[in-house]
Structures are given as structure tokens and as C-alpha cells.
Structure 1
Amino acid sequence: MIVDAGVHLWEPESPERSWPPGREAPQRAEPFGADEMLGIMDAHGVDRAIIVPPIWIGEDNTDALAWARKLPERFAVMGRMPFASEFAGALATWLDEPGMLGLRLSYPASVYGDWLDHERTRWFWDAAEASRVPLMILCQNQASRIDPIARAHPGLPIILDHVALRNVRVEREAGRNADPAERIADVIALARHPQVFVKFSSLPYYSAEPYPYRDLDGVLERVVDAFGVDRIMWASDLSRMSLMRRPPSYSEILGHVRDGMPFLSPHERAAILGDNALRILGWTV
């Protein structure tokens, strides 16, 4: 089974459901809904996808959960919630919502401040651990900041989105040399925490080469060696590819794991492409 463990899907903004100010712009001009994603999945043999409501629509899981309820064998959700202490109580029943697998953390600092400051925001990490809510965390180039969280909360499943690589697209397009793996040692160091996992997502975004992105082989093999193949899952992050000067096809994003990465065995490819996400996130439908 193949599971795309992270796609942003959204409906257009409307007067009834306006988006909050001060967020990043949508990753593409057109809305990206479930029907379009289903067509892509069916064309490429992808069985399931995990919807991550995008940051620009705010902390709103309405559409994502509706899609998951309609097609529970195809879609599930890593939802969003306001990062404020008055909402901590919601975590106790967060996973009771049909289709909800956990939380995705990515917040504008202008709205929520430094939400990776463990001591200041311990109320959140304590509550998430108490209910064992899996977290997908956007912490690009900040993997070292996850270490105190992981040390203090050994029962909290943490998934590092995009391998916690540095966001280098704008710098590279401006002609500046930028290494997305400049702090990969901080990512590798987190392998000592058994509840920390890695998502191989948005990978073409970090390559300076065309498909099959062989310049990423060395760093990705180091991650596999450190964490073990059973702690890694794959996701396309398809809408983000629209930001690239030469966006890859879905076939290339999927083929990077399915057919590339020569250091992986067929069994390891299957684990990364689906088995691990189902197990780690408890998607049992």
C-alpha cells in the first residue's frame, strides 16, 4: 500500500469562511481539492493520502475532516489547532474525531510567537504527550530545538517534516549557493529518541539536480542509517512543488523513493512508501 503522508488540500476562500490575515500566500493560485487529489492518486497507484490543512486557511479542519469522513479508506487528517493554552484541553479528545490522526505544527511567529520554545510552551507538549497525539512539526533548520522537547516527552510521537532541511529555494533561485543539509547533524542526533520519526517529504524542493535527485542520496542514506527504515515515511507535499521554477511531476516525486535511492531494498521502499505511516499514525481503516 502506498500512502502519501502529507498533502495540502483546500477550498477557495469565501465571505463565509475568510482566511486570517498575516499568513503566507497559497502555494498555487487555484484551490486544490479532494477530487483533484483522488485523480492524481488513482493515476499513480497511490492508495491513501493524509490531508494537512494549509497554514494560509488558518486553524480550520472543516473541509479536511469532511473529505475524510466521506472517503475514510482514502483520506485521513493531521489537523491544526490554535497554539494557545486555552485550547490545550482539546487535545484530550483530539483523536476521537473520525479521520483525525494527529496535529501538524506550523505557525507564523507573528501570531503565536516562538512556539518551539519548550519552556515557554510546555503546556502544549505536556498535553499532547498525555493524550499521545502524534505531531508533524515544521522545524526547518531547527532540529536542535526538538531535542529538549523529545527528552522531556518520551511518550510523544514527533515527525520531522521535510527531514527538517533548510529552506533553500529562494536563495538558490537568486543564484546564491545554499546547502539544505547544513545542519543535518542535528537531525541525526535526534535518532537517539525512539519516538522521533522523519518524513521524506518535499524532497525535490531541496535538490539542485533534475530527477532522480541523486545529489540527495548521501544525506538521505545517512538519515536512514541513523533512524532505521521503520521510522521514515514518504509524502509528496505536492502543492509546494508549484513554488519551484521547474515543478516536478507527481510521477517523479513518487518515483524518487519507488525507483530511486539505490541504497534502499524493495522491502525498505515499501515500508517508507506506506507501511510506516499506517503503523506510526495508527491509520487502521
Structure 2
Amino acid sequence: MAASNAEAIPSPSSCPPPKILDSHLHVWASPKEAAENYPYFPGQEPSVPGDADFLLKCMSEAGVDGALIVQPINHMFDHSLVTSVLRRHPSKFVGCCLANPADDGSGIRQLEDLVLKDGYRAVRFNPYLWPPGQKMTNEIGKALFSKAGELGVPVGFMCMKGLSLHISEIEELCESYSSTVVLLDHMGFCKPPLTDEERYALSSLLKLSRFPQVYVKFSALFRLSRNQYPYEDTRDILSKVISSFGANHVMWGSDFPFVVKECGYREAKEAVPLIANRIPLSSADMEWIMGRTLGQLFHREWQA
């Protein structure tokens, strides 16, 4: 019996290698696709190539197995381009739609349709799309956040102008709706702190670990670092985030296609172990950050 049990347990050498998953990237139409089927939102024409074929090439060269595609502002609330990519590659990608905080509440129905009909598995809150003077905690924002929890889709927050501007809103939403999972894009845009304001932002980020539903994306390092590639000055923030949240709440993301002109897509992936070696991190922690965390959140998409 003992021998039989031993045979049933796969040896480490027979286990498949852990999947490498990218928690944050974008795709948009090529100029040809935009002209024929998927127009850009007026005034949001992209400055760099970001079509799906280019992404797939970059992922193949880098050995990245799957990714979460975040709806780009280049197509605003028209999700047809990203939906077409998700349908063509259902085992490779999951989609994060863009919340529409329109005053008439139409974005709530749109969120339901995108999740239930088109299969999106997350939603992004961009506070700069809220009506002027309105916060993400207004009636529409709370309804969208609550609906995301009901639908079982995480909410990603994009705080490009600084986490400090929106931390109170995020805290209020987390306190009020504990069943809604939260993803903090690009570590809340917290840079290695040099000023009191930056130290406050990082402290606010770390204190969010008191909410068990909060996850942090170690993504778009070129936006956070004050140094050139491989952005090693982000190591202290990463170390503190892991100490506060646990590696199983941290996930790597590239911010394709913007990262391509900054350092290259493959290099963006390779920067993480270079940074981690300076902390250092265990191999288990690295597995969580490089794919296992995202895989656990969206496990159905990347099952073996």
C-alpha cells in the first residue's frame, strides 16, 4: 500500500513548471483594424503599437503563458476589440473591463453584460473618468463596486496621480464591501519615497494589507523607479509589500505595450528575479509573484 501511495504522488521532476502570468497589459487595434472595425476613441489614438499579434509575439519570446488584458482608454467603453481577442484566445487571456461611472447608471448594466455575456473577469476603476467633482464613493461608484463583488470580479484601481489622492475612497469601499476583491495597479504608483508625501503614500499602501481582499500589482516598474533598468530601487518597496501582504497577494505585470519602448517585454519579466535576488526572496515567493497569485484568482482560465 505504501508503495502504491508513493507512486500516486508525482515527483518534483514530473511536475509541470509554474506558469508565468502577466497581471497587467493592454491591447488595442492596429491602424488597419481601427479603420475597418475597431475605431479609437476620439483624441485617444495610441502613440505606440499595441495589437494582439505584437503582444503574442512578445509573450512567446519572453516565455509568458497568459495574461490579464486591461481595457485601454484608447477604446474607452467600447470593448469590442478586447472582446475579440479574448474570444480568439480563451485559454491565454482573461479580460478586465473598464467601469463606466456615468450619472445615469448605465455602466452598472454594462458591467453585468461584459461579465455575464462576454466573460470579463475583472473591472478597472479609473477615478479620472468620474464626473468632475465626483468621487469613486459616490452612489454610482458604490453600486459598481458592490455589483463587482456580487459578480465575483475583482476591482482594479488606477491611481496615476498618486495613491494619496484616492486612499480614503479605496478604504471606504473596502470597509463597506468586504466581498469585493481589490487589485492595486502598479503598487498604487508609489515610488521609492524621498519626500514626506511619498512616505505617506507608501505607508497608506502597506496599511491596506489589513483588508484581506486587497492584492498588489508589482507592475509597470518603469513608472515607479527613479533608476534605469532593471529598476533595482523598487526592491525595498517590494520587500515591504511582501512583508505586509504576503507574496500570495502580489503579482507581476508588464504594462505592455508601453514597456516595450522602455526596456523591452522580455526584459520586464527578467527584471523581477534580478530585483528579488537583492532582497532576497524564496523560490516559492517568486512563483507566487510571477504567476501563481494571478492563477489562483482566475484559476479556471489557466488550469493545466
Amino acid at match of 2:172: P
Q: 2:83 aligns with which of 65, 80, 83?
A: 65
What does 1:40-119 correspond to in 2, within 5 Å? 40-84=58-102, 85-92=105-112, 94-97=114-117, 99-106=119-126, 108-109=128-129, 111=131, 114-118=134-138
Displacement of 1:83: 1.7
Does residue 161 (structure 1) correspond to residue 182 (structure 2)? The answer is no
Map of 2:293 onto structure 1 = 276
Displacement of 1:93: 5.2
Any conservation in 2 of the 1:207–1:213 contact (CA below 8 Å)? yes
Structure 1 window deviating more from structure 2 (152-161 vs 138-147): it is: 138-147
Partner Cα distance (2:191, 2:75) in 1: 21
| Secondary structure, counterpart of 1:237 in structure 2 | coil
Alpha carbons of structure 1 residues 74 and 180: separation in structure 2 relative to 1, 3 Å: farther
| Secondary structure, counterpart of 2:171 in structure 1 | helix
Does residue 202 (structure 1) correspond to residue 226 (structure 2)? The answer is no
For the aligned residues, what is the CA RMSD?
Answer: 2.8
Partner Cα distance (1:226, 1:143) in 2: 17
- The unaligned stretches of length 5 or more in structure 2 are 1-18
Any conservation in 2 of the 1:200–1:235 contact (CA below 8 Å)? yes
Partner Cα distance (1:87, 1:102) in 2: 14
Displacement of 1:283: 4.0
Q: 2:274 aligns with which of 251, 259, 269?
A: 259
Partner Cα distance (1:83, 1:112) in 2: 11
Q: Which has the higher helix share?
A: 2
| Secondary structure, counterpart of 1:209 in structure 2 | coil
Partner Cα distance (1:178, 1:252) in 2: 32
Alpha carbons of structure 1 residues 180 and 280: separation in structure 2 relative to 1, 3 Å: farther
Does residue 132 (structure 1) correspond to residue 138 (structure 2)? The answer is no
Alpha carbons of structure 1 residues 76 and 109: separation in structure 2 relative to 1, 3 Å: closer
Amino acid at match of 1:9: V
| Secondary structure, counterpart of 2:229 in structure 1 | coil
Q: 1:224 aligns with which of 239, 242, 245?
A: 242
Does residue 10 (structure 1) correspond to residue 31 (structure 2)? The answer is no
* Bigger-Rg structure (1/2): 2
Amino acid at match of 2:273: R
Q: 2:172 aligns with which of 139, 143, 148?
A: 148
Amino acid at match of 2:263: P
Amino acid at match of 1:36: F
Amino acid at match of 1:250: Y
Displacement of 1:259: 3.5
Partner Cα distance (1:237, 1:178) in 2: 28
Alpha carbons of structure 1 residues 136 and 202: separation in structure 2 relative to 1, 3 Å: same
Partner Cα distance (1:186, 1:119) in 2: 24
Amino acid at match of 1:195: Q
Alpha carbons of structure 1 residues 7 and 48: separation in structure 2 relative to 1, 3 Å: same
Partner Cα distance (2:39, 2:81) in 1: 14
The TM-score normalised by the length of structure 1 is 0.84
The TM-score normalised by the length of structure 2 is 0.79
Q: Deviations over 1:42-101 (max 9, x none)?
A: 111111122112112111221112112111122221112422322313444543345421
Partner Cα distance (1:29, 1:178) in 2: 35
Does residue 37 (structure 1) correspond to residue 52 (structure 2)? The answer is no
Partner Cα distance (2:298, 2:113) in 1: 16
Structure 1 window deviating more from structure 2 (155-164 vs 130-139): it is: 130-139
Map of 1:171 onto structure 2 = none
